[in-house]
Amino acid sequence: MFRRLNDVLRPASPAERDTGFSLVEVIVAMMVFTIISIGVAYTITNSLVLTRESRARAIATQLAAQDIDLLRSVKDVFTIVDKTWTTEVGGTTYEVTRRASWATTTSNTTICGTGTGTLQYKQVEVSVSYAGMRPGGEITSATAIAPNSRINDPNKGTIVVEVLGASGTGTSGVTVQIAAATDSPNGAVAPPTPAKTDSTGCTYALGLAAGNYQVTISKGGAVGPDQKSTQVMTPVVVTAGTSQTASFSFDTAASFNASVGREQALLRTLPTNLDLTFRSSAQGDYTVAASAASPVPLFPFTGGYSVMAGRHIDPTTDPKNNVESSCLNVDPSAWTTPAADGMVGAQIMPVGAAPGDSAVPIVPTGVVQLADLPGVQRVAAVQQNSKANGDPGCVTGQTYYFPSVTALTAMALPYGTWKFYTYNTSNSGTVFTLKDQITPRGDAARTRGIVDTTAKTVLLDPRGGTP
């Protein structure tokens, strides 16, 4: 029976037994089928992608055209400003970005229309992008929108007010007041109060009589580069048939809560009237007295501030080139003469904060302890103008007061050379009179420094530190 089954299933002829597909032929056939399948799948996928892309671009084009059509119906062209928003259509997220700028008679095109040319019309560009968009596939549409009525008078002038923040973008919500200049108004007449600045930092005063004007801006919590909460520009000279620009830097203040002397392990005591100098690369030094608010609100320069203890004063000279005032030694980077170990002073690293945010800069100091002081004393530290031991000097020295000092008190002071006195106060507590000079011990400098017991001075040295 098994023989018969074998005869049925297996051809008797060897030639017939070799017919059919070999393994190699099967593998080749599978490879060909795979290649064809991949090609078909790619074609279908690409077709779907192109269909989706075509649909998305059509919707993006409609969104751009829709925004431009809406802008053409706007009654007040001054309300057309930069704007970015997102919208979802058919499960796809679209980002619409509008850029608007004024074109003037002098062919300038700027956001606020700054310059001397009169305002003519708004140039608007609307661009739309979407999720999954191919590089360079952004849809853009542009147009020009003219005011519905005449905004210029050949016998009048315009003041364009531009307010920019620390990053160079517009500051919105700023109150602007325009008045005739106090000195020599020359026919200027105060106009009605302009609108607050828009989202691009612009506002306008139209139809002004020719003359000299004063422009004042303010906003709660904002300051200018000079750290003042009100900025004034005068005179802004308006002539008939032209525009004049009043441009300001103004932004929400950042808060700086200085931590003085806390890099030392010692528990230190600060003088009641210690000054702090905030230095920015853009504006230079700004000194804050101890009576100022803490934290200190400052213009949020992108480069931040280096903060040093004491009142730094750049040298000023008289007509004969004699130095009248200066105080350099509170700045560690001014100690450029190498110490005995080759160390020099280092720059204090700047610390920054964004508008409305806060920062805590560490302010390095020297520390003095008068270990032989009897009981509790009022001690005054008097800054000396010494050039010994690499001290850069301080012509205009300060006196700092410690109302309650014992032999254990670690007094934090700016870098430099100091003498110490006891002092008395008036009944009102506002008048201080130096009394007896104090001789410091040889170990009075608790941070790097030099004590001269003969001259009764203590040099507090920043060289070798890491401010």
The answer to whether residues 126 and 139 touch, using CB atoms and an 8 Å cutoff, is no
What pTM, to 2 d.p., does this model score?
0.81
DSSP lists the bridge partners of residue 266 as none
SS3 168: coil
State how far the Cα of 9 lies from the Cα of 15, in Å rounded to an integer. Answer: 15
Range(s) within the chain of domains with CATH label 2.60.40.1120: 157-252
Provide the phi-psi class of 44: left if phi over 0, else alpha when psi is between -120 and 50, else beta.
alpha
Each residue's pLDDT expressed in tens, for the chain with a length of 467 residues: 545 655 655 555 655 555 666 777 778 888 888 888 888 888 777 666 666 778 888 899 999 999 999 999 999 999 999 999 999 998 889 999 999 999 988 878 889 988 888 899 999 999 999 988 888 788 999 999 999 888 888 899 999 999 999 999 999 999 999 999 998 999 999 999 999 999 999 999 999 999 999 999 999 999 999 999 999 999 999 999 999 999 999 999 999 999 987 655 557 899 999 999 999 999 999 999 876 768 999 999 999 999 999 999 998 888 877 877 899 999 999 999 999 999 999 999 999 999 999 999 999 999 999 999 999 999 999 999 999 999 999 999 999 999 999 999 999 999 999 999 999 998 877 789 999 999 999 999 999 999 999 999 999 999 987 65
| Closest listed residue to residue 231, CA positions, set 213, 244, 219 | 219
State how far the Cα of 305 lies from the Cα of 332, in Å rounded to an integer. Answer: 15
Q: Domain spanning 157-252 has what CATH number?
A: 2.60.40.1120
Report the 10 Å Cβ neighbour count for 37. 10
DSSP 114-141: -SSSPEEEEEEEEEEEETTPPTT--EEE
| Closest listed residue to residue 296, CA positions, set 277, 271, 319, 280 | 277
DSSP 198-251: -TTSEEEEEEEPSEEEEEEEE-TTEE-TTS-SEEEEEEEEE-TT-EEEEEEE-E
The answer to whether residues 25 and 99 touch, using CB atoms and an 8 Å cutoff, is no
SS3 35: helix
**What digits encode the pLDDT tens for the residues 67-95?**
999 999 999 999 999 999 999 998 889 99
Burial class (CB in 10 A: 0-12, 13-18, 19+), 215: buried
State how far the Cα of 290 lies from the Cα of 447, in Å rounded to an integer. Answer: 23
Burial class (CB in 10 A: 0-12, 13-18, 19+), 174: buried
DSSP 9-22: HS-SSHHHHT-S--
